[in-house]
Structure 1
Amino acid sequence: MISEVPGWSIPPPEGFHAEDLDRLADLPPHTELIDGSLVLVGPQEDFHTLMLYLLENGLRRTAPADLRVRREMSVVLGPRQRPEPDVIVLRAEALRGLEATSYQAGDLLLAIEVVSPESEERDRKRKPMLYAEAGIPHFWLVESAEGRPTVHVYELDPATHGYVLSGSHQGRVRLTVPFDIDIDLTQIDRL
């Protein structure tokens, strides 16, 4: 018996566009659009899930009233780019209601990627490049170094339009930009 192939499994000649993610039926959860191609996300390790929880809660606790924290929401970076950062911080004025399925790059202050084995290349190379090109001022890359979280903090260089490393943090993330942040990374052991 031959089963039907989902329509989204065959891309159009010009590739998919950002708005297609809202129209394609039966897409797997957390499908991203990078360079016009659909990217399906594999199962996540416990480290990834725990870091999302820790970062989301830490950022919510410290974010000023005019900012909001979201996790696993896609961001439209351009006509053929709609990745899904693990965690984002955006301006509260960008909220459009509970039906929103994405945000615009210009609404973000921070995009965070927690590196997973299946997405390592995208998280370390392609996504930061796309976020920088879209003008997102801050980017964090979170990795597991021997089971301990390391948060690499990047800021957008206005001259090169690329990210520059401003610090790497283990144990605790204490920053004053994009706002006062204090996250105890050792709390991962209590989750």
Structure 2
Amino acid sequence: MSVEPEATEPSWPVPPVGGWTGDDLDRLPNLPPHTELIDGSLVFVSPQSLFHSRAVSFFEWQLQSVAPEDLEVVREFTIDIDWQNRPEPDVIVVGEDVVNDSKQTRFPAESVVLAIEVVSNESVTRDRETKPVKYARAKIPHYWRVENNEGQAVVYVFELEPATGAYTSTGIFHDRMKVSVPFPVDLDLTRITPRRKRPAEQ
């Protein structure tokens, strides 16, 4: 006589009616690192590529070196947009007044001056479509999207247009990125690639 195996409890979180909330990210046990909340659903990210890791580190350190003293640069940190949306941009620039506790796990979206997303294969739609809409709705004034074009970084720069409340493109940058807002930045994007692949210095 065969015996049906006992049903096991699911090993993944089962959402409550109405979906998860931003507070749940701090309470749910054993969530994978960098879990985000998008429209009440948990989003688990895939392992980072080398390009992704290099690009995030590049923008974190480069912006830290030029950001005004009243701003802080933070990598991979969640922001509160509303009760069902708590995304985690790859790099953000926030007002220093909200960085007040070493145990804090999020920042309010209204404190964010710039959000940067480095696109991965599994995040293309979120980074190109879903997140920009939500960041614009939260009135984050600047959004940069970094993409991998055959090993070379391409940065798409957007600025919030007050009349429409939507982002408008203000530039596409390949080897060099020079902008004046939200503060002056002049970056050699070729530094994101491994040393052996960088163009020979003149």
TM-score category, normalised to shorter length:
over 0.9
Alignment of 1:165 onto 2:169: yes
Query: Runs of 5+ in structure 2 lacking a partner?
Result: 196-202
1:5 counterpart = 2:10 = yes
Task: Name the % identity.
Answer: 47
Matching residue within 69, 72, 80 for 1:68 = 72
Matches of 1:48 and 1:10, distance apart in 2: 30
SS in 1 for 2:128: helix
- The equivalent residue for 1:81 is 85
CA RMSD of superposed structures (Å): 1.3
The aligned counterpart of 1:131 is: 135
Q: Helix, strand or coil for the counterpart of 2:193?
A: helix
> How many residues get paired?
190
**Distance in 1 between the 2:79 and 2:8 partners?**
33
3-state SS in 2 of match to 1:61: helix
Q: How does 1:34-113 map to 2 (within 5 A)?
A: 34-113=38-117
Kept in 2, the 8 Å contact 1:171–1:185? The answer is yes
Contact (CA 8 Å) 1:94, 1:107: kept in 2 or not? Answer: yes
Tell me which stretches of 4 or more aligned residues in structure 1 moved more than 3 Å. 1-4
Q: Deviations over 1:115-171 (max 9, x none)?
A: 000111111100010000000000001001121101000000111111000001111
Higher relative contact order (CA 8 A, sep 6+): 1
SS at match of 2:164: coil
Return the offset for 1:180.
1.0
Give TM-score scaled by structure 1 length. Answer: 0.95
User: How far off is 1:96 after superposition?
Assistant: 2.3
Partner Cα separation in structure 2 for residue 57 and residue 69 of structure 1: 8
Distance in 1 between residues matched to 2:188 and 2:98, nearest whole Å: 28
TM-superposition CA deviations, 1:27-59 (whole Å, max 9, x none)? 111000000000001111111000001111110
Contact 1:170 / 1:185 at 8 angstroms: preserved in 2? Answer: yes
Could you say what secondary structure the match of 2:156 adopts? strand
CA shift digits 1:3-45 (9 cap, x unpaired): 5434x62100110011110111111110000000000011111
- Secondary structure at the aligned position of 1:18 is classed as coil
User: Which residue in 2 is equivalent to 1:122?
Assistant: 126
Shift of 1:190: 4.4
Conserved? CA contact 1:106–1:136, under 8 Å: yes
The aligned counterpart of 1:153 is 157
